[in-house]
Structure 1
Amino acid sequence: MRENAPPRQLAFDLPLDPRYGREDFLVSPANEVAYGLIESWPDWPDTVLVLTGPPGSGKSHLASIWATRAHAWTVAASEAGAGNVTHLISNGALVVEDIDRAPGRDEAALFHLLNLARERRSPVLLTSTVGVDALGLATPDLRSRLRLAPGAAILPPDDGLLRAVIVKLFVDRQLVVDLSVVDALALRIDRSLGRARQVVAELDRDALGRGRRITRPLALAVLERLGAGAPEDAEDGLD
């Protein structure tokens, strides 16, 4: 044990409020089709739009942008039950998040909601991590209804988007880092914006606990701890 090691500070895991404004969304080839559909409202070809993409890909951000424009309520799929369908549609526009989460999902209520939305011409935006055919729906009418609805898939991020999101994540946390840190992360983490959020949060906690700034060696050490590889320069020191 090194006697001259700096004392570790307490790192409080305070909640970070993500910024979901239109100006905060980063458009790239991975999401431009989905973004275009959101921007095209109210000129949608149907009352229902299904937005799919992996966790952390920006579905909730796009849904928030649309909800602001359409003055829509936002609920989780588990909150759309038989007793409140009429109430949910009464606002005129609705976002239903995470329809892929089967526990608590009421298929009959969701089907009724979509039919009522069509009858009243109320727009509904649905989000899911998987496509309609992978939802495991037991209600044939609901499955058919969702298959007919227009949709857009957010693809895994390209290099430019991944780097831009990493920079934004640091900025959101008021952290200033060298571009070598961004490059080290972008080259080694999974092609996932959710993974980028996890790694940046871990780096923030680690740097705060050590009382040190975020450097490339520290980033490599954190990546090694998270199982993202251990390049030879991860041992170069953390300052």
Structure 2
Amino acid sequence: MTPLERVRAKFVQRGRLWLWERAESALVKSASIEFDGLFGASGHGGFTPEVKVAALNKSLESSDDNGLGEYPLRPTSPPPPSTSYDVLRGVLRRAPSLADEETRDQVELEEDHFEGGTTASWKPDYMAELFAALIAVIEEHGIEESGWESARWEVYDTYSSCIEGLEYRRGHDEWSDGAKDWLDGRLDMVFMSTRQDNKSELGRRYNAMLPIIRPGYSSCSRQL
């Protein structure tokens, strides 16, 4: 077994084959242009096999060590058909995207005073629709796998493709995942997250309905 195959086996053992695939894609992106923050760029060149293995191993480390930390397992079966899921998926299909000229004006850009650069997020009107749809799923199906535990992954995948997802900053040997907050349970309101729960009544209501999975905040949240 090659070193790369051994690293892949670690992902498989942890139920993270999907993460392996996204991490590889992030490395391909980083090999051509290293993104500094969301928009700035510096650094070029490919990865040697040794550097690629080291970077993928790094992604499995805790967020305190510049890795990605833990992820919940993806659901093993699709959620039941229902009106609330139909509404949620309709909202997600209309998600504004940085890559789409027609919807880009519905993405909010802000200066990141913590780390520098620019951060992006969905604007309040869209967030209100999304929170309302998520609340409806929880009210109909609860917070287990048939409800919120599955719905959060659909939001995570959409946010990853439309706004910001897995990223490797080569110059810092650092991984980040701008969508990971959507997988977290209840967050303390003293923390700011890409979910923006604390910016609206619907967001606060959604957050209050979630289970307390672990104390503190995710690797992508920052203390105010």
Structure with greater contact order relative to length (CA < 8 Å, sep ≥ 6): 1
TM-score, normalised to structure 2, is 0.28
TM-score, normalised to structure 1, is 0.27
- Which of the pair has more CA radius of gyration? 1
